[in-house]
Amino acid sequence: PLARTSELLADAVAARTGLPAFNVITLEHAEAIATGAEDAGTPVILQISQNAVGFHGGRLLPIARACAEVAAAARVPVSLHLDHVEDLDLLRAAPAAGFSSAMFDASHLPHHENVKATAEAADWAHRHGLHLEAELGRVGGKDGAAPLSAHAPGARTDPDEAAAYVADTGVDALAVAVGSSHAMTARTASLDHGLIGRLAAAVPVPLVLHGSSGVPDGELAAAVAAGMVKINIGTALNLAFTPAVRAHLAGDPAVTDPRKYLDPGRRAMAATVAHLAGVVTSSGRS
Ligand code: G3H
Ligand code: ZN
């Protein structure tokens, strides 16, 4: 059934486990994520990024409504999250499109502008029933300094700055930089588990790990054990989908029906989802 992100996060925090969030590009992604989560028996977040909305011609509703229907039909709780939103018009469209949460990404702005824009977005979100995630921009940086994504390799979030940012903005979840980076195609990231523990102790809202595709299973489990809650995974699905499609096309050069090659791609994504959802939810914090 369709669930609310805030409830799934609260359940994960209470159970001292992680909550997987997978990025949707096409309908097949949404179907694979729901099937994989059902196979693993775990709740899951379907997240659509502003980039993915761009792929659909800038139209939010077709893919959002498809995701809402997939969520409603699922045998596990599934929530809808709008990911990496910079466009305020898109954020404003989220509640009516079925989203219960969004990530407002002002990390490209200098710190004081990030705080101001994020606080305004959080205020709007709370008045419209939306749970808001955000991330710090330049970690340890000064106002006016060149922005550095919290998920640039080498970036780290300072626990005191993180606590102040949450207090100043009123956000409900915080993406932090602890060693992962976006769009890695090899699982070679190593995380700073001590820092995760210090962040979890300092920050009163659930912590979010972006760029989790590049994080090996053991590191993911250890991150959850150290206090990470929402685990964002995108690239790993495409690393499952595309080779499966390519293999089918290579083995059947005369194929024209997309169902013939999309199905193995979708099944490969579902298997990856089931595996990663199991890793993220099986590791409890002590
Ligand atoms: O917000 C989405 C995630 O950070 C996905 O990152 O594609 O590197 O797994 P990833
Ligand atoms: Zn991300």
User: Which residue in this structure is represented by tokens 């989802």?
Assistant: 273
Alpha helices in the chain (DSSP H): 5-15, 27-40, 50-55, 61-73, 88-93, 111-127, 159-169, 193-202, 217-226, 235-251, 258-282
Give the domain 5-282 fold: TIM Barrel (3.20.20)
Question: What is the distance in A from the centroid of ligand 1 to the CA of 236?
Answer: 9
Which atom of ligand 1 lies at the shortest distance from residue 213's CA? 9
Alpha helices in 60-187 (DSSP H): 61-73, 88-93, 111-127, 159-169
Ligand approaching nearest to the C-alpha of 21: 1
**Above 80 in pLDDT, residue 245?**
yes
Cβ atoms of residues 24 and 30 within 8 Å: yes
User: Could you read off the pLDDT of 214-230 as tens digits, one per residue?
Assistant: 999 999 999 999 999 99
pTM value is: 0.95
Interface predicted TM-score (ipTM) = 0.99
Ligand 2 is an ion; residues with CB less than 5 A from it? 210
Which atom of ligand 1 lies at the shortest distance from residue 210's CA? 4
Q: Which of 18, 5, 210 is nearest to 99 (CA)?
A: 5
Angle at 75 between CA 70 and CA 77, to 5 degrees: 75
What pLDDT score does 108 carry? 86
What pLDDT score does 266 carry? 99
Which atom of ligand 1 lies at the shortest distance from residue 181's CA? 8
Question: What's the token pair of residue 23?
Answer: 């990025």
**Above 60 in pLDDT, residue 88?**
yes
Pocket test for ligand 1, best of 44, 85, 181, 213 (most atoms within 8 A of CB): 213
Q: Which of 28, 23, 42, 123 is nearest to 80 (CA)?
A: 23
CA–CA gap between residue 191 and residue 226 (Å, rounded): 11
Active site residues: 83
CA–CA gap between residue 17 and residue 225 (Å, rounded): 7
Question: What is the distance in A from the centroid of ligand 1 to the CA of 211?
Answer: 4
Between 265 and 136, where is the model more confident? 265
**Above 60 in pLDDT, residue 147?**
no
Q: Ligand 1 atom 10: the closest Cα is on which residue?
A: 211
The pLDDT mean for the chain works out to 94
CA–CA gap between residue 47 and residue 31 (Å, rounded): 13
Q: Tally DSSP H helices, then E strands, for the chain.
A: 11, 8
Pocket test for ligand 1, best of 217, 233, 238, 273 (most atoms within 8 A of CB): 233
Question: What is the distance in A from the centroid of ligand 1 to the CA of 124?
Answer: 25
Burial (CB count within 10 angstroms: exposed 0-12, middle 13-18, buried 19+), residue 252: exposed
Pocket test for ligand 1, best of 235, 272, 276, 280 (most atoms within 8 A of CB): 235
The single-letter code of the amino acid at 186 is A
**Above 90 in pLDDT, residue 276?**
yes
Which atom of ligand 1 lies at the shortest distance from residue 182's CA? 8
Question: What's the token pair of residue 201?
Answer: 């102790």
User: Could you read off the pLDDT of 25-35 as tens digits, one per residue?
Assistant: 999 999 999 99
Q: How far is CA 147 from CA 52, 164, 165, 197, 211, in A?
A: 23, 18, 16, 25, 18
Residue 137: phi, psi to the nearest 5? -80, -120
Question: What is the distance in A from the centroid of ligand 2 to the CA of 49?
Answer: 9
CA–CA gap between residue 204 and residue 226 (Å, rounded): 15
Stretch 146-161: mean pLDDT: 74
Question: What is the distance in A from the centroid of ligand 2 to the CA of 81?
Answer: 12
Protein residues whose CB sits closer than 6 Å to any atom of ligand 1: 23, 83-84, 182-184, 210-214, 232-236
What pLDDT score does 143 carry? 40
| Confidence category of residue 154, pLDDT binned at 50, 70, 90 | confident
| Confidence category of residue 152, pLDDT binned at 50, 70, 90 | low
CA–CA gap between residue 136 and residue 176 (Å, rounded): 7
What pLDDT score does 195 carry? 96
What pLDDT score does 148 carry? 55
What pLDDT score does 122 carry? 98
User: Could you read off the pLDDT of 174-190 as tens digits, one per residue?
Assistant: 999 999 999 999 999 99
The single-letter code of the amino acid at 14 is A
CA–CA gap between residue 140 and residue 151 (Å, rounded): 13
